Amino acid sequence: MVNYPNGKKHTTKDLVTKQEKHSKIEYGKRGMSFEDAIDKTNQYYITRQIAVIHKKPTPVQIVKVDYPMRSKAVIKEAYFKTPSTTDYNGIYSGKHIDFEAKETHNKTSFPLQNIHHHQIEHMQQVDQQGGICFLLIQFTHWEEVYLLLLEHLMFYWNRYMSGGRKSIALTEIKKDGILIPYQYQPRLDYLAALNMKDESED
């Protein structure tokens, strides 16, 4: 029997039960943001020489800066210089990789308004040069992430532009995309999902 300062008694059985509960491994998000999970995955790829993929910085025009201290600058006003293209790019197995990562709280569909025209145009240009483009979509409510290749994204985008449905149904994403489970390392192995997609189309 173990006594604690709060006066509450804990038996050995209680301690074992608590240890068993903590020993169960669950590879969910664990409070980690979607972007953090991708960044940790990219770092995993780099350290193991699998791929070199980074998040692109967004060009910003700084307009006003205050200096409350000589060693400290505070940006008070800034604007985006140009529309950003996609979130991530790099190289994998000799191929240029370019992708956008989006998340939605919607339970049944992904709103296409989350994608911008200039991002679609950029991905098409990369695709024409032989690069690999895709979309990573996280359904926050379900903690599910899917990889959707550009060719499938374009089908739903063109449907949207033609006056059709303004979103991609989760059932459609499950049909055309690949589920990427959260795991220990790498957190979101999207390159494995990309390889699975390539193998299924051979």
Confidence at residue 28, expressed as pLDDT on a 0 to 100 scale: 46
Per-residue model confidence (pLDDT) at position 21: 38
**Res. 123: pLDDT tops 60:** yes
The annotation status of 85 as a binding-site residue, yes or no, is yes
Question: Is 201 annotated as belonging to a binding site?
Answer: no
Share of the chain above pLDDT 70, in %: 72
Write out the DSSP string of 29-62.
-TT--HHHHHHHHHHHHHHTTS-EEEEPPPPEEE
Q: Extract the tokens encoding 36.
A: 């953090």
171 close to 109: Cβ distance less than 8 angstroms: no
97 inside domain: yes
| Distant-in-sequence, close-in-space partners of 83: CB < 8 Å, separation ≥ 6 | 116, 118
More confident residue, 10 or 108: 108
pLDDT at site 85: 83
* pLDDT value at 137 more than 80: yes
Residue 167 CB-half CA count within 13 A: 11
Report if residue 150 sits inside a domain: yes
Written as six digits, the tokens of 31 are 């409070």
Specify the number of domains making up the chain.
1
In a domain, 100, yes or no: yes
User: Which residues make Cβ contacts (< 8 Å) with residue 127, sequence separation at least 6?
Assistant: 133, 150
- 19 within a domain of the structure (yes/no): no
What dihedral angle (degrees, nearest 10) is formed by the CA atoms of 132, 34, 140, 22? 130
Quickly tell me which residue has 């690999």 as its tokens: 132
- Asked whether residue 151 is marked as a ligand-binding residue, the answer is no
The reply to whether 123 falls in a domain is: yes
CATH number, residue 91: 3.40.1350.10
For the ranges 5-9, 28-32, 81-85, 139-143, the lowest mean pLDDT is seen at 5-9
Considering the domain boundaries, does residue 6 fall inside one? Answer: no
Nearest residue to 27 (alpha-carbon basis) of 141, 193, 183, 138: 183
Judge whether 119 is annotated as a binding position.
yes
Query: Is the predicted pLDDT of residue 198 greater than 90, yes or no?
Result: no
For residue 30, pLDDT over 60 is answered with no
Mean pLDDT of 5-29: 40
Dist. CA 199–CA 96, nearest whole Å: 18
Mean pLDDT calculated for residue range 189-193: 97
pLDDT tens, position by position, 99-112: 999 999 999 999 99
Q: What is the mean pLDDT of residues 53-64?
A: 75
**What pLDDT does 196 receive?**
85
Whether 104 is covered by a domain: the verdict is yes
Residue 184, pLDDT above cutoff 80: yes
Q: Which domain holds residue 48?
A: 27-57+83-201
